[in-house]
Structures are given as structure tokens and as C-alpha cells.
Amino acid sequence: MEPQITARPDHPVSRKQISASALKVLYALKDAGYTAYLAGGGVRDLLLGRTPKDFDVATNATPEEVRKVFRNCRLIGRRFRLAHVFFRDEIIEVSTFRAPTPPDDETLQNDNSTFLSKDGLVLRDNLFGTPEEDALRRDFTVNALFYNITDYSLIDYVNGRRDLDNRLIRVIGNPEQRFTEDPVRILRAIRFAAILGFSIEPSAREAIRQHAARLEGCSSSRLYEEIQKLISCGKAEKVFALCCELNVFEHIFPELGAWLNAPDGEGKTHWLEKSFKQIDRWRAAGIQIDPALPFALIFGEYHEWVAAQLMRDEKLPHAEALQEATHRHIRQLDRIRIPKSVTHHIAEIMTGQPRFLKTTPKNVHRMMNHRCFLDAFLYFKFAALTAGRHAAELDWWETQRKSRQRLTA
């Protein structure tokens, strides 16, 4: 297929917006005789007038050839071999044009570098391809545009610019097949739709609904990484709404999903909506929060609900019940590889909660010097305001914090 090429005067991407390191990489590859394109989210964001998070380069040089061009370069990755070119304050990822995944098992038998599992999941692929093939193996049309350093033109094999103009996340190829190959793309579609304020094209929405359960079979570390991105993208509230709409939430957090979807589940989304909104608010205010705090909030009402049952059925005291509820849930969570340090901190935040109900001077001193105090307090405050409870205690703790701040100022 012939790509649509837009010459420099007819598009807004300027070299001034591209980082000096990315330009160095592009020019060095070009000077060594290779094709070098800026690719992926960098081009998308520049066209939308947004500041790209990072710049990725695509080239016809193999990883070994890339390494010969740059002294400051390291090859990484088992699943896909990529070159990382290191600069003082930036790493530029350089990937060799890649062929798409072979569509059927027959191609696989003569090919020892791509492996699919029985249900179509890509386990490894490392086949190099043409620029066109490289565009077609990418996830969404808006992520598959190239910026050519030779003549500063844009190269579009997939009608990505049309979809950018129409604010649409459209899967390249057959959505059902692409989500089956790599279900993490489901979460990526939701993240880009939320961050960019785009819609997900209808056949992709349908395929997400059909295949969301496949997320449960994904690598736990990739899931954790992607969930982190969803939570911290600044549009977590929108992410949550899309996850509910597309029946994805229950496949990321099955226990929570089952609790939410239970017949008495009405009204339970209120806490979750507020949680995601709060996470966005902290982010917008530039407040650095511990990675455990968003999880503590998201799981909070569910943990409290389980704890209430344990208090009733097993006669556990409040703090112990909260600790047990948190640990039970976290043990079920090994499908998402939340680091141990984070799960430990979630449990500490939860078990600290009953102590906020004791408003004695002795308790204040002990609590405020605890290393988890701030995170536990932020949870307490959030829960008090969201559930409309413990107003007097919250007030009391706010006053204590203020007077301490005055003392230490």
C-alpha cells in the first residue's frame, strides 16, 4: 500500500519540538545510510500539540547495526530486541522495523522466531520488516505515524491522521485478533482514550467487551506496569468510567468486581469514583504520593466491608479485622504483581485506621511520628469525607496537624 505522505509545509511538526537527543539519533542513523523515522506516541502528541513523554525511533538498521552507530547504546529486551541510546537526561528507544505477527499457525512452523500460545497470545516475535509492516503491527492508527528525518515529511500507512482529526482510537487490523494477540492493548486503548479525550471506535469497543477476560491470562508484571500507568495518567476517573462501561474492571480486579456487581452492589461505585477523582486531584496538584495510597483508596471500601464481616463472624477486633481483610485480598492479587513493599504499605495504612478514632494527646504523638502517618491520615480524611463519617475526629486531627506545623515552622 502506498502511504499518504504529507510534506513539511503541510503539517505542524517542527524539529524545534523534538528533543536534541532524539534529533541526534535520527541524524546519526540517516548519516550512516539508514532510514530513520520518529515513531509512536511522540509523533501523535506533537500533532496534537501535546508535549511527548518520550521519543521513539524506528529504523531499518538491525539492533546490532544500531549499536555500531552509537557508543552510548545498549541492546535490551527478550520479547523484542531494542536499542537504548543513552544521553545525559534522556534515553532514546530505537527499534528496527518489525514484521506483523504471522496470522496463522502454518507460518509459524517454518519460523523459529515467533511463538504463539494455543489461544493466540504472542509469546515472542523478533522478525524484522518493512516500514509498512512496522506501521501495521502497531496497536492503534494514531500511534502508527512516522516523521521522516530525511525530508521532515509525515508518512501515514493507516489513515492515522484522519483518526487524529476525528479523535478516534481505532485498532489497526481486526480488533478481535489484535486484542487476542495482546490483551494489554485493551488497557492501552482505554488509557489513550482517557488521556487524549478520544472515543474508542465501535468495533474496537465491542471487541474489548468480548475479550476483556483475556486480561486475566496476561503477564502479571506487564499488568502491574499498565495499571500503574492507568492510575497515574491524570485521567483515572475517566479510565474507571471506561473500564466499567466496557466490562474491563472486573477482569483487572476480580474480587472487587464481583463485590461491585453483586445484587446489593448499588451505590458502591460512589467510593470508587471518588477514589479515582482524588488520585487525579493529587496528581494535578503535583503532590507526590506513595504508590500504595491509590490502591489503599481503590480497595478501601471493599477491605472495610470484608473486615466488618470478619468482626461479625470471627469476632476479630477492628484493627485485626482490617489487617486480615487486606492480607486476604492481597494474597489473591498475585495476578497483578504488586511489589511486596507496596502491599505491606497498603496493609499498614488500613490497620492504622481505628487509631484515628482515639483522640488523646498521647496517641497524637505516637501516631504523628509513625512513618506511615501521612498516608494513613490521607486515607482517613478521604474516607471520612466520602462516607460522611467521623467528622469530629477528622476536625480534631486537622487541628493537631496544624498546630504541629506551626510548632515546626
Nearest to 63 by CA among 104, 102, 94: 94
Q: Which of residues 44-73 bind Mg ion (CB under 5 A)?
A: 54
- Maximum alpha-carbon separation in the chain: 75
CA-wise closest residue to 354 among 321, 378, 319 = 319
Determine if 170 is a binding residue for ligand ATP (CB under 6 A).
Answer: no
Question: Which of residues 42 and 257 has its CB atom nearest to Mg ion in the complex?
Answer: 42
Minimal distance, residue 91 CB to ligand ATP, in Å: 12
The CB-of-3 to ligand ATP minimum distance in angstroms stands at 15
Interacting partner of 184 out of ligand ATP, Mg ion, none (Cβ under 5 to 8 A depending on kind): ligand ATP
Which residue lies nearer to ligand ATP by CB, 61 or 347? Answer: 61
Does position 90 interact with Mg ion (CB under 5 A)? The reply is no
Q: Find out whether 13 and 46 touch, Cβ atoms under 8 Å.
A: yes
Per-residue x/- mask for ligand ATP, residues 112 to 141, rule CB under 6 A? --------------------------xx--
Q: What residue 406 binds from ligand ATP, Mg ion, none (CB within 5 to 8 A, per partner kind)?
A: none
54 versus 393: smaller Cβ distance to ligand ATP: 54
Under rule CB under 5 A, residue 41 binds Mg ion? yes
Beta strands in 168-218 (DSSP E): 168-169, 199-200
Report the amino acid identity of residue 173. G
Q: Among residues 9, 49, 53, 313, which is the contact residue for ligand ATP, using CB under 6 A?
A: 53
DSSP, residue by residue, 72-141: SEEEE-SSS-EEEEE-SS-EEEEEE-BPPPPSSHHHHHT-SS-EE-TTS-EEE---B--HHHHHHTSSBG
Interaction between residue 100 and Mg ion (CB under 5 A) = no
Give the alpha-carbon dihedral of 13, 17, 20, 24, to 10 degrees: 0
Please choose, out of 23-31, 52-60, 77-85, 341-349, the segment that lies near ligand ATP by the rule CB under 6 A.
52-60
Active-site annotation, residues = 54, 56, 139
195 binds Mg ion (CB under 5 A): no
Residues 272 and 297: beta-carbon distance below 8 Å: no
Asked if residue 230 binds ligand ATP (CB under 6 A), the reply is: no
Cα separation of 361 and 224, whole Å?
Answer: 41
Instruction: Determine, following the binding rule CB under 6 A, whether residue 143 of this chain makes contact with ligand ATP.
Output: yes
26, 50, 232: which is closest to 142 by C-alpha? 50
With binding defined as CB under 5 A, does residue 160 bind Mg ion?
A: no
Residue 240: CB partners within 8 Å, gap ≥ 6? 249, 272, 273, 276
Give yes or no for residue 54 binding ligand ATP (CB under 6 A). Answer: yes
Q: Which residue is nearest to ligand ATP (CB)?
A: 41
Q: Which does 143 bind (CB under 5 to 8 A by kind): Mg ion, ligand ATP, none?
A: ligand ATP
**CA 64 from chain center: how many Å?**
30
In this complex, which beta carbon is closest to ligand ATP, that of residue 187 or of residue 293? 187
Residue ranges binding ligand ATP (CB under 6 A):
40-41, 53-54, 56, 138-139, 143-144, 182, 184-185
